[in-house]
Structure 1
Amino acid sequence: MVDALPPTVTVHLEDYSEHLTLGCGFSAHTVRAYVRDAESLLRHLADADGSASLDALDLRVLRSWLAKQARDGSARTSMARRTSSARTFTAWLQRSGRIATDPSLRLSAPRARRTLPGVLKQNQAAEAMSWAELGARELDPIAVRDRLVMEMLYATGIRVSELCGLDVDDVDSERRVVRVVGKGNKERSAPYGDPASQALDVWTTYGRPSLVSERSGSALFLGRRGGRLDPRQARTAVHDVLASVPGAPDLGPHGLRHSAATHLLEGGADLRVVQELLGHSSLATTQIYTHVSVDRLRAVHDRAHPRA
């Protein structure tokens, strides 16, 4: 608990949380993760020198903190994330004048293994959309909403948090684009096609009016009680639809995002266009999808070529 740390230390965590929220524009989830890592580091420092004095925060302490995470069974990806988190924290400490030098400048961590994301085959994606459309034919508002969740996630490749954050005014139905506010409060436009447009028309005509309440505000997607749709409900909808598709992997909304990116590249889309659509700040993040396509190409070659 933060309370166990001296007040002279907890004030740093409070100021750091405010910096991440107001200065960096991070989401509440990201802020909690960064502050939790900083708290863990300061606890480790307190165990090491008994006072958690920032003057004792050096490279040796950072390395021993990471070593403890490794001994406790943290995966390579977690170690890489915590290293990045520690660098962010100590850099802020140095910039805000709380320490003289940044001890993380020579800190290194195991490189995280890049695993290929699970994706649907194109025929599986089409079948999933057909199942969602079939379930919405009786115009049950939840089924109508879930059809639009599936269509919009796959059509645009947006994150589930971005989907749930959409307001009615964020949709330009004439141009078929949605205005999305992504990570770091960065705004972008994501286009969608005719199937998603049809699903949107049914939702706004029959589905949303059946669920709207005083709690709805301007939210485009609504839960059963009329409030803004929660990402957990959207995940459940995706899992339920994909469970109806024979042979389809059990994916959530992020799997639809991966599938959209992969299918765009397989269809000949430029990598930088896909980067813009997904809202990636770095092209390196988008490049993992090229590995998915190459991996599939290799699998087909191995099965079909007589001298593979």
Structure 2
Amino acid sequence: MSPVFDESERRAALELIHLALNEDLADRGDLTTAAIIPPSAQGAVSIVARRPGIVSGLPIVPLVFQKVDPQVRVELQVADGDRVDRGTVTAVLTGSTRSLLIGERTALNFLTHLSGVASLTRKFVDLAHGTRAKILDTRKTLPGWRALEKYAVRCGGGVNHRMGLYDGVLIKDNHLAAWIGLEDRPTLREAVTRARTTSPAGVTIEVEVDSLAQLQDVLQAAPDIVLLDNMPPDMMREAIALRDQQAPQVRLEASGSVTLDSVAAIAATGVDRISIGALTHSAPALDLAFDWGALA
């Protein structure tokens, strides 16, 4: 089933499209196209995958051309979340040649980046297949792109972590560092209790630990999730045994320098979740391009 491109993603896309076209056109338009392409010229292009991967961002293509020229016709050939091979046609566009050229780079920038995120996510998901571990993203996203990048993670089979600081509690090492010098410095267990007391009902409470001693302490407060920061697999297994004994309802999440080489071993420990910042901050673009053809 294809991921849902909902109103929040649509709004984010429209804002970014507005910025992108302003960057490209300013108050002068496309000088090159205006100089050498007749206004009456009509064209047809296919958006073709140059490499295999997972496609994401296709619903944004018609949004781009609605802004450039509503007369351009966009026919999507595959769906977001589909695996494409080299040579797969993902969309066919027909209309004013000038309009196609003006919108080309903006449309492809969305598609190549978001498809890159989805493709990298699927690689991690495939390596964790057969375990209980879900692959999650983080807040390490490009400013303004979060809703779309997290959508792309879903296209790749991943799961979204919290969207922002507003919809979940995650007590991290930086919070511990910020406690230094405070007279009323809480323990991790007390921090979880405070967060549960002050946060809206139903908000997930998560806390980061980097040792088994910290885990043992914080399990007494029964947070919803404990993040195991940069623990080696053997220590994760000990953490799972400790969790199973003391608070089996608490989910355990592995995080910290997770790579394609290490994710399978981490997933095999039995953790419930693996969060990976690289899904969004380090995904290479998937190569897609315009192939021009003659109008029928």
TM-score by length of 2: 0.24
**Relative contact order, CA 8 A, sep 6+: which one is greater?**
2
TM-score by length of 1: 0.24
More strand by share: 2
More helix by share: 1
